[in-house]
Structure 1
Amino acid sequence: MSTISRRIVLLSSAALAGAAFLGPADAQDLKITIGYQTVVEPSKVPQADGAYESATKAAIDWRKFDSGADVIAAIASGSVDIGYVGSSPLAAAASRELPIQTIFIVGLIGESEALVARNGAGIEKAADLAGRKVAVPFVSTTHYSLLAALKHEGVDPKSIDILNLRPPEIAAAWARGDIDAAYVWDPALGQIKTSGKVVLDSSQVAAWGAPTFDAWIVRTDFAERNPEAVRDFVKVTGAAYAEFLAKPDAWSVTSPQAAKIATITGAKLEDVPQLLRGYVFPTLEEQASDKFLGGGTVKAVEATSAFLKGQGKIDAVLPDYSEYVSSKYVSEALASN
């Protein structure tokens, strides 16, 4: 899959050095800082239930971020151990050789990310964006999808006033009438759709050859010190996805699962079931296969990096991205079931 997610982070040697290697952690005293985003997906349920703390026997500091670029910056500084990012910021970070590993593919993005135009703006397709103000979080999956859509439609990005705004800023700018359109995810997506219409979504962009995905990543040094904790994090996440995939209709608007997801993400409760259908969630078995962490994800990150370089968003594409993707933890999670 492919994407851009939330602003390119310049990784200095000082930032990388800031993550000093620590000795083995005592499981009883383990502390994990996890950077999450407000995306509607199944792992928000075990997050709300405290299941991650129970499985890892660790004290977890859950920190909310508005974009993948912000998550990457926090991981680079050493202040976050495990983080949720889109494929575009992931590719940008790997291309800058940030010491990270992709440990779980959240899902392929579809209707859950979309380009919305203000009602009455006269924007029916991507070509109508010329001369308009369009907001998107830079280096996010939606930024990647926007650029890919413009390329497909033969629209010069320079003909559009593209503004770099985080999702909460997009919602505020929309309310003020400062922008004509925006490409974003929930809860901001749901907010702007109340007075706008969807021009296209990421399922359409994927069909044009530019798919995107979200993923959980881990700092390499943290994973090396705490492999069991990373395995257990993946196992809990996979169990949540398996529960949803087994009975997706049970996660209805009246379900406790939907209520927990709405509370964690800020999405409208009535929108949660539909938003869950906006992703294609792979099982743990699929995660470990050649389609994803066993090979396909490496190719997807490389392809995304090549696109970003072509757009001038990164300086170079690495010859090999395999060290930034690991199937070790999903395989161990499967073996421990």
Structure 2
Amino acid sequence: MSTISRRIVLLSSAALAGAAFLGPADARDLKITIGYQTVVEPSKVPQADGAYESATKATIDWRKFDSGADVIAAIASGSVDIGYVGSSPLAAAASRELPIQTIFVVGLIGESEALVARNGAGIEKAADLAGKKVAVPFVSTTHYSLLAALKHEGVDPKWVDILNLRPPEIAAAWARGDIDAAYVWDPALGQIKTTGKVDSSQVAAWGAPTFDAWIVRTDFAERNPEAVRDFVKVTGAAYAEFLAKPDAWSVTSPQAAKIATITGAKLEDVPQLLRGYVFPTLEEQASDKFLGGGTVKAVEATSAFLKEQGKIDAVLPDYSEYVSSKYVSEALASN
């Protein structure tokens, strides 16, 4: 699944165009399908508490996905309204002009994703991956980071046997001894690093920062702007609560327990994984650093890299229509 099907995107465009003829939804009858991933981050708490349903007064169908590429495909087909993706699949989707908007930057990815080499595989640094079997979900932030690491070390990706596996498949392949290394996130990361060595390389310092984000189908947002605003408001409140007292989200806290239940991560790992991200506040979201400008530049830079690596066909002249600060600004105004 190294690319997003053009056919899916074309079909989705027709489906979304048809949906645009529908009138504004009655909030009491509104149904929202949200595609989430098992990433450890604060919004899993309001998800567990039913806070999104209360705020939007909607029925929400929460669907778990194993990768951002899968979320993008579901959004393209029209089966998901709001989805959680990484910057790499986001850039790939925008470059193919999928009608989406980035509405919330979850955070800059740090140690929450990692390259792990199997003990005894003879891998001490990224340069040692040549000739090895390395698993990664294609068109994900970890795929992007892996390619950036190889580029930094002067290793041609063709010299590496890169396998396209989803996180659960990576954990299974690791258990069987089928792969030498993997670049992935939790809960698979927590499973494989018990018998492997975590590479502490700082990919962001090499000029290839990654982030996660919530995106929305443009047609859904246009028909249900208040629901999107309320979704953003609930998400921002969860992040504000964590940022105010991060130490309170300890291993014995109800927040950590809820996150572990939703994600499948080990409870004892949750506090550390939360610290593996740099979470922006709602105010920062609306600023030039993120949705007010910086995120557009980040998506453009990611797209340029993906084009260089042959993962997308072309880079758009402008990505601003795929990033919106409207909903974070409205969420701030309604506080």
Find the residue that maps to 1:7 and give its secondary structure. Answer: helix
Partner deviation per Cα, 1:300-323 (whole Å, 9 max, x = no partner): 000000000000000000000000
Which residue in 2 is equivalent to 1:208? Answer: 206
CA separation of 1:194/1:4 partners in 2, compared to 1, >3 Å: closer, same or farther?
farther
Task: Tell me, yes or no, if the aligned pair for 1:69 and 1:89 is still in contact at 8 Å.
Answer: yes
- Distance in 2, matches of 1:281 and 1:2, equals 29
Partner deviation per Cα, 1:91-141 (whole Å, 9 max, x = no partner): 000000000000000000000000000011110000111111000000000
Instruction: List, as ranges, runs of 4+ consecutive aligned residues in structure 1 with deviation greater than 2 Å.
Output: 1-22, 200-203
Deviation at 1:195, TM superposition (A): 0.6
Which residue in 2 is equivalent to 1:69? Answer: 69
CA separation of 1:230/1:266 partners in 2, compared to 1, >3 Å: closer, same or farther?
same
- Distance in 2, matches of 1:6 and 1:161, equals 26
Find the residue that maps to 1:105 and give its secondary structure. Answer: strand
Partner deviation per Cα, 1:48-103 (whole Å, 9 max, x = no partner): 00000000000000000000000000000100000000000000000000000000
CA separation of 1:100/1:88 partners in 2, compared to 1, >3 Å: closer, same or farther?
same
CA separation of 1:60/1:263 partners in 2, compared to 1, >3 Å: closer, same or farther?
same
Partner deviation per Cα, 1:220-258 (whole Å, 9 max, x = no partner): 000000000000000000000000000000000000000
Deviation at 1:23, TM superposition (A): 1.8
- The gaps in structure 2 that reach 5 residues or longer are none
Deviation at 1:24, TM superposition (A): 1.1
Pick which of 213-222 and 5-14 moved more. 5-14
Deviation at 1:26, TM superposition (A): 0.6
- Distance in 2, matches of 1:48 and 1:29, equals 22
CA separation of 1:6/1:17 partners in 2, compared to 1, >3 Å: closer, same or farther?
closer
- Distance in 1, matches of 2:239 and 2:112, equals 17
Q: In the TM superposition, what are the counterparts of 1:1-337 in structure 2 within 5 Å?
A: 21-197=21-197, 204-337=202-335
Deviation at 1:196, TM superposition (A): 0.5
- The gaps in structure 1 that reach 5 residues or longer are none
Identity %: 97
CA separation of 1:300/1:5 partners in 2, compared to 1, >3 Å: closer, same or farther?
farther
Report how many aligned residue pairs link the two structures. Answer: 335
Task: Tell me, yes or no, if the aligned pair for 2:9 and 2:98 is still in contact at 8 Å.
Answer: no
Task: Tell me, yes or no, if the aligned pair for 1:95 and 1:314 is still in contact at 8 Å.
Answer: yes
- Distance in 2, matches of 1:20 and 1:295, equals 27
> What RMSD, in angstroms, separates the aligned Cα atoms of the two structures?
2.8
CA separation of 1:76/1:3 partners in 2, compared to 1, >3 Å: closer, same or farther?
closer
Pick which of 203-212 and 253-262 moved more. 203-212
- Distance in 2, matches of 1:30 and 1:100, equals 20
Deviation at 1:15, TM superposition (A): 6.4
Question: If the length of structure 1 is used for normalisation, what is the TM-score?
Answer: 0.95
- Distance in 2, matches of 1:18 and 1:156, equals 44
Partner deviation per Cα, 1:264-300 (whole Å, 9 max, x = no partner): 0000000000000000000000000000000000000
Task: Tell me, yes or no, if the aligned pair for 2:9 and 2:77 is still in contact at 8 Å.
Answer: no
Task: Tell me, yes or no, if the aligned pair for 1:6 and 1:67 is still in contact at 8 Å.
Answer: no
CA separation of 1:41/1:3 partners in 2, compared to 1, >3 Å: closer, same or farther?
farther
Task: Tell me, yes or no, if the aligned pair for 1:3 and 1:143 is still in contact at 8 Å.
Answer: no
CA separation of 1:90/1:323 partners in 2, compared to 1, >3 Å: closer, same or farther?
same
CA separation of 1:269/1:121 partners in 2, compared to 1, >3 Å: closer, same or farther?
same
Question: If the length of structure 2 is used for normalisation, what is the TM-score?
Answer: 0.95
Find the residue that maps to 2:202 and give its secondary structure. Answer: helix
Task: Tell me, yes or no, if the aligned pair for 2:2 and 2:311 is still in contact at 8 Å.
Answer: no
- Distance in 2, matches of 1:152 and 1:3, equals 23
